[in-house]
Structure 1
Amino acid sequence: MDLELTDEQHALVETTRSFVERELYPHEEEVERCDEVAPELAAEVRKKAVAAGMYAANMPEDVGGPGLDAVGMTLVERELGRASYALHSLVARPSNILLACVGEQRERYLLPTVRGERHDCLAMSEPGAGSDIRSMATTAVRDGGDYVVNGTKHFISHADMADFVILFAATGAEQTTAGPKKRITALLVDLDSPGLTVRRGSACVSHRGYHQCELSFVDCRVPVGQRLGEEGRGFDLMGEWLGASRLSVAATSVGRSRRVLDLATEWAAQRTQFGQSIGRFQGVGFALADMATEVEAADLLTLRAASRLDHGTMSDQDAAMAKLFASEALGRITDRAVQIFGGMGLMAELPIERFWRDARVERIWDGTSEIQRHIIARSLLRPLGS
């Protein structure tokens, strides 16, 4: 396995980092203070991302995207991850589930999303169904040419900025060797559809300005033509998306870890106590060494998974390992950074306390650490018949 980046990949990293430092960093304090990204700022960032050829970089060229491979996309998201999530999410990665669009769906949902004219959000989680997706209570019942949707989704990221939702709902049940399981179907639902209400969720300690919302469906009628894929096959679409999303979490965790490490190293070199820089004290120096080692290990796990994805050999275990280690490493790295900064690490004057808060959600969304461990353990035990 070649661990060295090509010249083109180095250029991609430098271009993305320059964009992040120039277009995103200057607005971080404002977003943190206001818990909002002003609409005019969001439009400006998106416009510049489109002009730079960075928008919807995960989408293939035949639908108007830049067509980056998985490794390239991982490198881009690693650099975007250095910035406030509310800002870097504006350089959109539309859900690759939209590639399942056919016919009119392409013109109405896929292509405008790739161009940055429309924005999607994805709705799986419910108050009673988080990791246990098959237990979702939201239903879509066929009635003539429509599905009638009823139920509630919550923790739906940036639904307040979206134009449509990729909804997963139960459309009946099927018998399996493990007993009856709900058949999950994906639907494309415009957010202005009658019967759909979007409400801002509770304030979150992580990622200010990037809001989670609650979606309430009451007899919301969705035309059958807005079904994404086959009825009852939404779980398969979901599985394809989760692998890519877990790589995304891993990559952004690596990027944020590197930024935190850079800040902690600079502080340790400049801050003096007892006549010398604190980095020369073993307690601080060893902490920096551990941080640096974990960043490199997380980066390699993530790039390995991305490379395997490009070659069609990535397993659920590969994505789970990358997401698990990178997100948990970020938690340890930000905690050590707070310790190195001391009291100043907890002050809003510096960004360290923000990184510390923001890191916590990475071990929860897109599959908790416990779910990732379950996936890895299952992959180890299944070949032995257990």
Structure 2
Amino acid sequence: MEFELTDEQRMIVDTVRRFVTTELDPHADEVEELDDVPPELARHVREKAIRAGLYAANMPEELGGGGLDAVSMTLVERELGKTSFALQMLVARPSNILEACEGEQRTRYLLPAIRGERHDCLAMTEPGAGSDVRSMRTRAVRQSGDGDAYILNGTKHFISHADMADFAIVFTATGTEETPRGAKNLITAFLVDLDAPGVEVRRGSRCVSHRGYHQCELAFTDVRLPAGQRLGAEGRGFELMGEWLGASRLQVAATSIGRARRVLDLTLGWAAEREQFGQPIGRFQGVSFPLADMATELEAAELLTLRAAWKQDQGTMTDRDAAMAKLYASEALGRITDQALQTFGGMGLMAELPIERYWRDARVERIWDGTSEIQRHIISRSLLRPLGA
């Protein structure tokens, strides 16, 4: 097996690493304190990212994107993961679901998103429908006598950065189908402008993880959607959702690895410099052995994630591959940040150092884009299904 990066991939890593160091890191403390990204700073970062060729790196080159393969994008996400999530998400990677746009949708949504003129968000989760997306209550009812339009009503929550988006990719029920377990909703995706009549964007509850990167609520009241704003075929939104989740789970895994790398580096420096009983604390096995475990877990998580990305480039990645990467990397990050805080002792909990920030931020990675329990379900079903169990 070949583990060496290509010259192009090394150049990409160096470029993103410099961008993080010079353009993002200097503002991380400000964003943490404000729990917000000032609009002028957001514009500045986006413009710099566009000029650096980092914007929309995940989108096809023929559409104006960076055209990076999955392994290269994983390396990008790893480097971006070392800094504030609210800042790194300004180096936008539009949802790959937008590649399903057709006709006028490309002109109105896809291409402006790639150019940085419009910004998307994904609206799937509801107060009563998290992992159980088929039970969502937000509904779009077709009005055949109204120029072939839909009327959308319902509420979404935990919608990331909707307060900075121009439009949302909204998953909604449009009918039902009978299954062996009873009637289930048919899911359809729509492109919804957030300034359309009947759409309300509200800031959600404050989250302890990723300050400045806000979770929002979207309320839809009799929102009229022409059929031309339907993304893909009616009732096929579940398949679109599945295509997005694989990529998003790799993103979570990669950013978890980047953050864990930074935490490990900080912890190694502390263990080498902090002295107790006349010597650096890293000489005590109670500190040094956990460092060895942290490093080993990090390497294993990175290899598992890069393997899944490589398989995606070969067209052979399965849901299990993405689930394993997301599960292991996010949980390894949790263990690594917790051990880092223990190594720093009381100072680890102080806001003067970034360790408590990384500790708080790590917790959400095991929840969003599919909880650890959902990932284990995907993995275990893939193992048992061939055996008829």
TM-score (norm: length of structure 1): 0.99
- Unaligned stretches of 5+ residues in structure 2: none
Residue 7 of structure 1, CA deviation: 1.9
- Aligned equivalents of 1:108 and 1:7: distance in 2? 36
Alignment of 1:1-386 (within 5 A): 1-143=1-143, 144=146, 145-386=148-389
The 3-state SS of whatever aligns with 1:127 is coil
Moved over 6 A (4+): none
Moved more, 326-335 or 5-14: 5-14
Equivalent position amino acid for 2:199 in 1 = L
Residue 385 of structure 1, CA deviation: 0.4
Q: CA RMSD in A?
A: 0.6
Moved more, 168-177 or 222-231: 168-177
Residue 215 of structure 1, CA deviation: 0.5
Residue 60 of structure 1, CA deviation: 0.5
1:71-100 CA-partner distances (Å, limit 9, x unpaired): 000000000000100000000111000000
- Aligned equivalents of 1:190 and 1:109: distance in 2? 10
The 3-state SS of whatever aligns with 2:218 is strand
Identity of aligned residues (%): 75
- Aligned equivalents of 2:353 and 2:105: distance in 1? 46
Residue 176 of structure 1, CA deviation: 2.5
Residue 14 of structure 1, CA deviation: 1.2
The 3-state SS of whatever aligns with 2:90 is coil
The 3-state SS of whatever aligns with 2:154 is strand
Residue 3 of structure 1, CA deviation: 1.6
Equivalent position amino acid for 2:169 in 1 = I
The 3-state SS of whatever aligns with 2:126 is coil
Equivalent position amino acid for 1:45 in 2 = V
Equivalent position amino acid for 1:67 in 2 = G
- Aligned equivalents of 1:195 and 1:338: distance in 2? 46
